[in-house]
Structure 1
Amino acid sequence: MDPSTPAQSHPLEVIDVIEETADAVSLVFARPAGERFDYLPGQFLTLRVPGTPEDGTTWAPRCYSLSSTPGIDPHLQVTVKRTAGGYASNWLCDNAKPGMILESLPPGGRFTVRDSPDALVLFAAGSGITPVISILRAALAESAVPVALVYANRDRGSVVFDAALAELAGAYGERLRLTHWLESERGLPNAAALGALLPAPTVATSAYLCGPAPFMDCATEAAAAAGIDGARIHREAFSSLTGDPFAATPSGAPAGGPTSPDGAATATVGLNGETTVIAWPRDQVLLDALLDRGLDAPYVCREGNCGGCAFTLRRGEVHMLVNDTLDDYELGNGVRLACQSLPRADDLEVEFD
């Protein structure tokens, strides 16, 4: 491992490369021993892709959703689709091969089923199927809930996991209502047309959406118009990383009892099965306060758009500088982002799952 990478990163070995379509491949990684790479359907890996000397880039960190399903697939799998002008996606599609080692951070992300639905509506477009198929397979295998999936693509040749989806539809019959929207046949999707494809929702129907922002806007409107509670409509947020989450962080002071800088709040932190009391400076985000104390807090982007540092606020009040990933359901249940939270109370209690 490069000594400049943080301790939470891990080398992953590519054991297979699967050509899904002409412009998409799945990378299968041998799963490391231990719990650090346990994950939930819908989460992602952050990979450290080699950069190019020409533009002075040593590494290109990128987040890719896991298309494998825990409890079903023994290995980790991410699916990468080429994007026009996208360095990392094209590099992986052209160069990834069995035996290659790529550095990865542990799984992260909040695009997971967490509101106990009795029916699921899934919308995906293009590479947005990657986390959705993981959610889909888990729901079908582990529950009895009916699932409706609307999947949009340019044409039949661009449908990722076409054969796998057909196999699931055949295996689960009426439990899986699968609709392909092909722009070559129907044109661009709109809210009214998408809504017409949905079954009548129940009180506890939840919708999960992943794809380009205009598609998710249409799907959100369609789900709401169909009668799905807005608090149960969840979108995956796509944002480019502007920093390097693999960069080593300052060691700071060793973990231990609280320190008491003037005016600091006091935070009781539940992390990795242990409880620690720290002084939390008013002008420092929680993640930095924890890392400065030598505590192994989870994070990925440090920019407020991935959810990798999410925690539950049990007591007190915080102000978040940026939030591009948490929805109203999560905020209502006390979920906050450590990389963006400043204390707004004297005494706080926070807990990391």
Structure 2
Amino acid sequence: MTSYHVRVAEVIPETDDARSFVLDVPPHLTEVFAHKPGQFLTVRVPVEPSVARCYSLCNAPGDPLTITVKRTADGYGSVWLHGNVAAGDSLEVLPPAGRFHPRSLDGSFLLVAAGSGITPVLGILRTVLTSGEGRVTLFYANRDENSVIFAGALRKLAEKYPDRLTVVHWLESVSGLPTPASLGPLLAPWATGAEVFLCGPAAFMAAADVALRGLDVARIHVEKFQSLAEDPFADVVFTPEVAEGEPLEVEIDGASHTLAWPEGRRMLDVLVEHGLAAPSSCREGRCGACTCLLTDGEVEMVNNEVLDATDLADGYVLACQSMPKAGPFRISYDS
């Protein structure tokens, strides 16, 4: 997938260990970087060994493209970004991707976050309030008052939208670590019929998930922070083969293509081998960048850590993990 070098317009200190990097997207790339609230950017960390890291966007679509990165002691990417990137530098990135976003902005939303998990959640919150009619409750857990990322921005939004936004803070310094037993009663008043978005450290998400499963929620979307084992910026060389296989009809970028999908090959490899600009990032079934809609045929996914039961029922699959099972096949990518 094509990567782009984008200039850093501003670096904003949010807390002692969190910074926002505002990117200056040139006009000719506006469409390439159009995104949905809650999506992420894949950033190349250009040190040896070169790696890629995914960082969530905190801005609403239409506002300056912004990622927020919390530095951790063993964070290969976060340490490099905090120590080496300043205004005027450029970052090599892939276009926005990910499925952690609402399909409508007019429902009832319960956003549950901890630490830097606020980043994609804030993008959703801002977009619902400014472009939709939905009501939002944010439950936000942090270590202490000084570690609350976007504290000022959240306070201003709560003041501007008092009838549509409720912000509930949890500080471990005051209340201890959140548990399923303590979270359940706090989340219950806003859970009924709400679409839930959950993001944060693994232990927090596990506790919140248990609490939410016992409540009447419409749907739970989960965003996980995971390092990529492969480097999506590395050149991937495929050797074209004349092979037989079931027909695979692909609708992408407004055009339709029919390919042969050989047995034992992953869908994404076949698409790239035929020169199609299919979106992708991790190639591990973890990020959802390669998600497409399967309308004909049956596939088997080797790994899936992104799509939930509703996604699967709707026909969505991960191209990077899909193996042919029964064809012919037809897929399409969202425009």
**Preserved contact between residue 118 and residue 202 of structure 1 (Cα < 8 Å):** no
| In the alignment, structure 1 residue 197 sits paired with structure 2 residue 186 | yes
Residue in structure 2 matching 1:99, options 88, 94, 98: 88
TM-score by length of 2: 0.95
Residue in structure 1 matching 2:151, options 162, 173, 184: 162
User: Residue in 2 aligned with 1:152?
Assistant: 141
CA distance in 1, matches of 2:91, 2:42: 10
CA distance in 1, matches of 2:321, 2:140: 34
CA distance in 2, matches of 1:115, 1:104: 27
Unaligned runs of 5+ in 2: none
| In the alignment, structure 1 residue 44 sits paired with structure 2 residue 25 | no
Unaligned runs of 5+ in 1: 1-5, 254-258
CA distance in 2, matches of 1:49, 1:97: 14
1:260 Cα offset (Å): 6.5
1:238 Cα offset (Å): 2.0
| In the alignment, structure 1 residue 271 sits paired with structure 2 residue 263 | no
- Which SS does the other structure have where 1:102 is aligned? strand
Q: Percent identity?
A: 47
- Paired AA for residue 193 in structure 1: S
1:116 Cα offset (Å): 6.6
User: Residue in 1 aligned with 2:322?
Assistant: 341
CA distance in 2, matches of 1:70, 1:115: 14
Distance 1:252 1:291, change over 3 A: farther
**Preserved contact between residue 207 and residue 234 of structure 1 (Cα < 8 Å):** yes
Residue in structure 2 matching 1:244, options 221, 228, 231: 231
1:51 Cα offset (Å): 1.1
Residue in structure 2 matching 1:69, options 60, 75, 78: 60
Deviations 1:267-315 (A, max 9, x none): 1111111100000011110000011111111100111100010000001
Residue in structure 2 matching 1:80, options 69, 78, 82: 69
**Preserved contact between residue 283 and residue 320 of structure 2 (Cα < 8 Å):** yes
**Preserved contact between residue 23 and residue 81 of structure 1 (Cα < 8 Å):** yes
User: Residue in 2 aligned with 1:293?
Assistant: 274
CA distance in 1, matches of 2:164, 2:202: 28
Please list, as runs of the form range in 1=range in 2, the aligned pairs for 1:201-240 lying within 5 A after superposition. Answer: 201-203=191-193, 205-229=194-218, 232-240=219-227
User: Residue in 2 aligned with 1:14?
Assistant: 8
1:83 Cα offset (Å): 1.4
- Paired AA for residue 67 in structure 1: C
1:239 Cα offset (Å): 1.7
1:92 Cα offset (Å): 0.8
- Which SS does the other structure have where 2:272 is aligned? helix
CA distance in 1, matches of 2:236, 2:150: 39
- Which SS does the other structure have where 2:326 is aligned? coil
- Which SS does the other structure have where 1:269 is aligned? strand
User: Residue in 2 aligned with 1:90?
Assistant: 79
Distance 1:312 1:85, change over 3 A: same
**Preserved contact between residue 136 and residue 165 of structure 2 (Cα < 8 Å):** yes
User: Residue in 1 aligned with 2:261?
Assistant: 280
| In the alignment, structure 1 residue 176 sits paired with structure 2 residue 165 | yes
1:114 Cα offset (Å): 2.2
Deviations 1:290-345 (A, max 9, x none): 11111111100111100010000001100000001111111111110000001111
User: Residue in 1 aligned with 2:177?
Assistant: 188
CA distance in 2, matches of 1:338, 1:251: 16
Distance 1:200 1:100, change over 3 A: closer
Please list, as runs of the form range in 1=range in 2, the aligned pairs for 1:122-141 lying within 5 A after superposition. Answer: 122-141=111-130
CA distance in 1, matches of 2:105, 2:209: 19
1:117 Cα offset (Å): 6.2
